[in-house]
Amino acid sequence: MPLPSSTSDWSFDPKWLVIGFALGALAMVLAFDLRIGAALASAFALIALFYLWVRYRFAPEPGEPASERDAMIERFNRLREARRKADERENASAAQESPRPGEEP
C-alpha cells in the first residue's frame, strides 16, 4: 500500500491514534496510582522530547523537499514540463517550415 505524500490532503496521521491511546493509558494509570502515573508521564515526556529533538535535528532545510519521494516527484514534473515544451517547439517549427521550391503551398 503506498504511503501518503507529505503534500497530500489526507488529514489523519496514524501517530495521533497512537498518541491518543497513550494518553488514555496514562489517564487510567493516573486513576489507579499517582506515583506510577507520574513516572509514566515523565517517561512519555522524555519520549516526546526525544521525538522533537530528532524531528528538528533531521528536518529538511527551508526550500528543500520534505522527503526523497517529494524530490523525485518534483524532478519528474520538471522533466515532463521540459519535454512538453520541447514537443511544442518541435511541432511549431515543423508547422512553420516553408514549402520546397516547385511544391505548392
- DSSP SS3 for 61: coil
Burial of 69 (0-12, 13-18, 19+ CB in 10 A): middle
Q: Which pLDDT tens digit goes with each residue over 13-70?
A: 888 898 899 999 999 999 999 999 999 999 999 999 999 999 888 887 787 777 788 8
Number of H helices, E strands in the chain: 3, 0
Q: Which of 58, 55, 57, 26 minimizes the C-alpha distance to 42?
A: 26
Query: What is the pLDDT confidence band of residue 105, given thresholds at 50, 70 and 90?
Result: low
Sign of CA dihedral 11, 13, 18, 19: negative
- pLDDT value at 96 more than 80: no
DSSP 3: P
Residue in the block written with cell 517517561: 43
CA distance 52 to 46: 10
